[in-house]
Structure 1
């Protein structure tokens, strides 16, 4: 029995379980207008933060792509954080949520920056809250315009995810926690795909809020010794990855036991 993947204005099944793209660009004019409006809102917010900062050379303000970029950004922001704490916090939150909403790579650098600027406990709280807000923003944006885009990019992965969600519906929170804690599926994909496969928002929210804490702690803690990092790969040694998988196995065990008892 084939899993239903849901209707789409420009994508349909061909009868063999494959998805056929009916148009070269998957989003309609109105869907693009919604996405553009969200982008404009973020840009205006960042502009307001910029206008309240003191006159200075802000050429260092750019999304970090390497550890070198991040260290330069950290060195400059340290001098502002004590005197303009509110502005730096608002800037940080808006950038993090914007990156999460539009699936822009590099939030790991923002998590490192939180540890470097605010310490472990404040940094973890900041990362968890912003990551949850950004994931929620991505969830609702995908609910509005994500279906055609998702079927164009990851049709096979989406059908697999939908089948897993349907199979674990009664213990869905445990399964979503497992996905958040472990790198089984990319967090970006989970954010975009969850509303398409009918993961309720309250389950998505709780799994995100709780499930990203372990990885956030590892990353934020590493940000305190930012100068000692040589690459992003240094963040996750064997011990860290094994710990995350152990936590993931514990969260998904009730789901597996329920499935076995019914088979």
Structure 2
């Protein structure tokens, strides 16, 4: 935990050195890292710590939508051959196209709510399916809102909790939120596995 807090503080100090450019720099870094497939959870937490919940939530949601669009476009154009080879070696991702053909936007929404499939890699995987771009973009954005909200909130209170600057109400809300998120993630993960199961899809 102390290493994470140190990392947050170091990141804050470095970004703060850009003055008015702190927010744009964060957005550029977020955009580039998600393009190369980095797990976004650390970026969510960092946004909450640096900008607070409301501002961090808006910034992450907006920037994530931009990177989601860019990954889709790259996957449909110059990155298509490489992504196709990568997905062929991973059965769970390979099932997406068949699942989307049956369930459409519901699969996009469901997989965004599930923690078992990395968001950045899903972006490229969906680019190879038959999903319409605007459906993909809207339901990706909608499905990511609760995930982004949870981790940005944890980032906004995490440093205080780790350093002892907290209050009982904040601790209670955080624990309650984690429990609810845990239940929701387990349920969505189970549904995602069912819908992406080769056996289940073959019976549809």
TM-score interval (norm. to shorter): 0.7 to 0.9
Deviation at 1:178, TM superposition (A): 0.4
RMSD over equivalenced CA pairs, Å: 3.6
Say whether 1:94 aligns with 2:28.
Answer: yes
User: 1:23 maps to which residue?
Assistant: none
Say whether 1:240 aligns with 2:172.
Answer: no
Deviation at 1:241, TM superposition (A): 2.1
Say whether 1:219 aligns with 2:151.
Answer: yes
Give distance in 2, aligned partners of 1:152 and 1:170: 23
Larger radius of gyration: 1
User: 1:19 maps to which residue?
Assistant: none
Deviation at 1:239, TM superposition (A): 3.6
Give distance in 2, aligned partners of 1:185 and 1:175: 12
Deviation at 1:77, TM superposition (A): 4.2
Deviation at 1:160, TM superposition (A): 4.8
Over 3 Å counting, the alpha-carbon distance change for 1:164 and 1:196 in structure 2 is closer
* Residues 7-86 of structure 1 aligned to structure 2 (within 5 Å): 66-75=4-13, 77=15, 84=20
Equivalent pairs counted in the alignment come to 184
User: Alignment partner of 1:212: what SS?
Assistant: helix
Greater RCO (CA < 8 Å, at least 6 residues apart): 2
TM-score w.r.t. structure 1 length? 0.58
Which structure dedicates a bigger proportion of its chain to helix?
Answer: 2
Unaligned stretches of 5+ residues in structure 1 = 1-64, 252-258
Over 3 Å counting, the alpha-carbon distance change for 1:164 and 1:76 in structure 2 is closer
Unaligned stretches of 5+ residues in structure 2 = 164-173, 193-199
The 8 Å contact of residues 30 and 63 in structure 2, kept in 1 or not, is answered as yes
Give distance in 2, aligned partners of 1:250 and 1:162: 17
